[in-house]
Amino acid sequence: MEGLNGEQGRDFSSFPQKYNGDENAVAPFGPVGTTPFTSMEHPLKSVYNFYTWSEQVTSFIDDVVGGEAFLACNSIGSCVGLQAAIDRPEVVKGVVILDPSLRLLNSKRQNPFFVPLVTAFQKLLRETFVGKWFFSQVATEKTVSEVLKQAYGDPEQVSDELVKCILNPGLTEGATDVFLDFISYSAGPLPEEQLKILSFEGNDIPVGIGWGTADPWEPSSTIDLYALESCVTMTRLFDGVGHCPQDEAPDVVNAFILDFIASTENQP
């Protein structure tokens, strides 16, 4: 998008000043505390951040869709979809987020005492041979299969085809650098911050939230907290489904997405 380039050119201090029309106010962001929407820059100046990904999504909408679009996102992609709605409300008609990542590595989630230790470990992985070795241990069919079986409510749904679909992109040139860069990313927005912004800005962009009750990583009870934001117009729990409901129960998830779109388009 013109004038923006990932984190560059963004005013990360503008939202707190506008909160409730009080230039001296600081926006509260739920369980994180009264944390301003600032300090968003990646400490390593990475290009792999939610702002860059948001621009990629909205560029796709501009170049391929050629009009408004709904976004359906899972896990860490939920933050990307919400950021796209914040950045380009004129092209995003609505966002469905499925089992959104709570971003536990974000520095605002961490105990302040451990932040320097986590940062040092991330730097070790990213800037030494240790990281490449670590990735080589992770990027195997066995490891990917084991991780997916943890994430899925029904491990039997983890097929060889699914494992290869997840693994193969990680075996391409440059994938190691992307992986290491991403796991060292402890800045950027949290999903509750993004929902707060969408609710406050008055962009009238609805958000639907679906969550698998068997998600071992992101507790489905969080849906009740997120549902308090005015931008959230529909929520639904998927019984017995894990972290990737669109794979495990596509019929249930597709029905939810269609219900969300229909409810949005029927609004006056």
User: Is the domain of 89 the same as that of 198?
Assistant: yes
Establish if 241 belongs to a structural domain.
yes
User: Is the domain of 1 the same as that of 71?
Assistant: yes
Q: What average pLDDT does the segment 210-231 reach?
A: 94
* Residue 204: CATH number of its domain: 3.40.50.1820
User: Is the domain of 206 the same as that of 88?
Assistant: yes
User: Is the domain of 199 the same as that of 254?
Assistant: yes
Establish if 42 belongs to a structural domain.
yes
Strand 69-74 vs strand 92-98: parallel, antiparallel, or unpaired? parallel
Picking from 167, 185, 203, the residue at the C-terminal end of a domain is 185
The DSSP code for 64 is I
Residue 1 has pLDDT above 70, yes or no: no
Picking from 169, 185, 201, the residue at the C-terminal end of a domain is 185
User: Is the domain of 86 the same as that of 126?
Assistant: no
Q: Which uninterrupted H or E stretch holds 124? A: helix 115-127
User: CB under 8 Å to 59, separation ≥6 — which residues?
Assistant: 1
pLDDT of res. 37: 45
72-94, pLDDT tens digit by residue?
Answer: 999 999 999 999 998 899 999 99
Report the predicted TM-score, pTM, of the whole model to 2 decimal places. 0.85
Q: How confident is the model at residue 189 (pLDDT cuts 50, 70, 90)?
A: confident
The number of domains in the chain is 2
User: Is the domain of 123 the same as that of 98?
Assistant: no
Report how far apart, in Å, the C-alpha atoms of 91 and of each of 3, 57, 69, 75, 82 are: 17, 10, 6, 22, 12
Picking from 154, 185, 216, the residue at the C-terminal end of a domain is 185
Q: What average pLDDT does the segment 176-200 reach?
A: 84
9-32, pLDDT tens digit by residue?
Answer: 665 555 544 444 555 544 444 334
Can you give the residue range of the structural domain that contains 167? 111-185
Establish if 179 belongs to a structural domain.
yes
User: Is the domain of 27 the same as that of 101?
Assistant: yes
Output 57 or 37, whichever has higher pLDDT. Answer: 57
Backbone angles phi, psi at 208, to 5 degrees: -110, 140
Q: What letter represents residue 140's amino acid? A: T
Establish if 268 belongs to a structural domain.
no
By mean pLDDT, which of 41-50, 170-179, 222-231 is the weakest?
41-50
